[in-house]
Amino acid sequence: MRIAQLAPLAEAVPPKLYGGTERVVSWLTEELVDIGHEVTLFASGDSITNAVLEPCSPQALRLDPIHRDPMLAYGVALAQIADQASQFDVVHSHIDWVHIPLLRRLGVPFVTTLHGRLDLPDLSGSFENCFVDAPFVSISNAQRAPLPQAHWVATVYHGLPKNLLKPNFAPEGYLAFLGRIAPEKGPDTAIRLARAAGIPLKIAAKVDKVDQAYFENKVRPLIDGKDVEFVGEIDEPQKAAFLGNAAALLFPICWPEPFGLVVIEAMACGTPAIAFRCGSVPELIEDGVTGFVVESYRDSLSAIDRVAVINRRTVRASFERRFTARRMAEDYIRVYESISDQCRPDIGKIHPGRKLQSPRAPILPRKPVPLHPYGRPLELGDPAA
C-alpha cells in the first residue's frame, strides 16, 4: 500500500530524547517499510527514516531555538498532504483534529490515531458537531470512555521493535521511575514508596516548563542523590540498562493514562511494573504475571515486597506476544485495508454542493472503563507520554 504518516512536529521522528508519540510513529513507519509498503513520513526535517521524508519544519519545534509558530508548521504539513493526496491509498494522522476538514473535503481515505487524553473541556461537543463521521483509532479501550460517540474503528496497542531493548534477568535491585515529571505521573509518590520499602529509586525523566514549579517545590526537595537519584532525560540506548537493571518500574499515576509506553518498555527488559489502576493500566499489565495493578499506596508497598515472585522471562515473553512493532503494524494494515476498500472517491476532485464523507469502517465493541480525571490538558503537538 501507499501510506502517508502525518506526525506531530514537537519532536523529531524518532525523538532525540523524550517523545512518546513521535517514537511510536517511528516504530510504526519503519515496520511498515520493512514489511514492504511504500511509506511517506510527514515530519520535522531532522527526522531519520527509511521511508520517504517530507520535512514540514526545519527541525523539531520543542528544540528549535527560533521558537517557530507551531500552527505555521502544521499549515505547511497540511499543504504538503493536500498536494500529494492522490498518491496515497490512505493517510494516517497522529496530530489530533486539525487535518480532518481538509482530508474529508479531499476525499482521501484517512484514519486518525488519538494519542492523548480525551476528557478535555468542550471536546465532546466538537465531536458531535464536526468529527462524528471521521474514523479514529484508540490506543486503549480506556481512552475511549469520554467520547463513546466517536467513530472508533479499532483499538491498536503500541508496540516497539522486538530487539530494541534487551531483557535482563539478573537486575541490580533498585526501583525505577521513567517518563515525565508531572503531578499526574506521581514521581513524589514513587519517592515515598521507595523510601518506605527501603529500596533505592532512580528517576529518569524530563521536566517541561509547565511542570517546573511542581518539580522545584514537590520533587527536588525529596531527592538526596543517594536513596533517591535524579538521572534526568535519557535517550533510547540508555533505556535498556536503566529499566533492565531495575527490580521493578513504579508507575503511580493518578490520571486517565491513554497508554503508558514506559510499561511495555519495561516489559521488553523483563522488568515488571507496579501501577495504579488508572486509564489503560489494567489492559497492559497481567496482574501477578507481568506486574501488579494496585488500588492504593498500601497495595503498592505490598506489591514491592512481592515483586521477586514475578518471573522476568515470563514478562519478556508477554511483551513479545502482545507489544511488538510488527504486531502493531499488522493491526494497522488491517485498518488501512478496511478504510481504503470501503470508500475511494476520486482524489483531488472537489464536488461543489455536496459534502464528501470520510470512509466508515465497522465500529468495534468497546468495554466501558472507569475514568480517573486528573492532570493538565495536552497542547497541540505535545506528545502523549
Tens digit of each residue's pLDDT (9 = 90 or more) over 8-65: 999 999 988 777 899 999 999 999 999 999 999 999 999 999 999 999 999 998 877 7
The full set of domain ranges for the chain reads 2-160+326-342, 174-322
Q: Where are the beta strands (DSSP E) in the chain?
A: 2-6, 38-44, 52-57, 90-93, 110-113, 135-138, 151-155, 174-180, 201-206, 228-230, 246-251, 273-276, 291-294
**Which CATH number is associated with domain 174-322?**
3.40.50.2000
pLDDT digits (tens, 9 = 90+) for 274-319: 999 999 999 999 999 999 999 999 999 999 999 999 999 999 999 9
* pLDDT at 268 exceeding the cut of 50: yes
Same fold yes or no, 2-160+326-342 and 174-322: yes
Do 267 and 318 contact (CB within 8 A), yes or no? yes
On the question of a cis peptide bond just before residue 14, with omega within 30 degrees of 0, the verdict is yes
* pLDDT at 368 exceeding the cut of 50: no
For 255, the grid coordinates are 490520571
**CATH 3.90.79.10 is held by the domain 2-160+326-342:** no
Q: What is the pLDDT of residue 344?
A: 54
pLDDT digits (tens, 9 = 90+) for 214-259: 999 999 999 998 899 999 988 888 999 999 999 999 999 999 999 9
Q: What is the pLDDT of residue 135?
A: 95
* pLDDT at 206 exceeding the cut of 70: yes
Q: Of 249, 260, 59, 11, whose CA–CA distance to 26 is shortest?
A: 11
CA 193, chain centre distance (Å): 26
Beta bridge partners of 291: 273, 287
pLDDT digits (tens, 9 = 90+) for 320-339: 999 999 999 999 999 999 99
Radius of gyration, CA atoms only, the chain: 21
Beta bridge partners of 217: none
Ranges 23-27, 81-85, 162-166, 346-350: which has the least confidence: 346-350
Q: Of 83, 116, 133, whose CA–CA distance to 343 is shortest?
A: 133
pLDDT digits (tens, 9 = 90+) for 61-81: 887 777 678 888 999 999 999
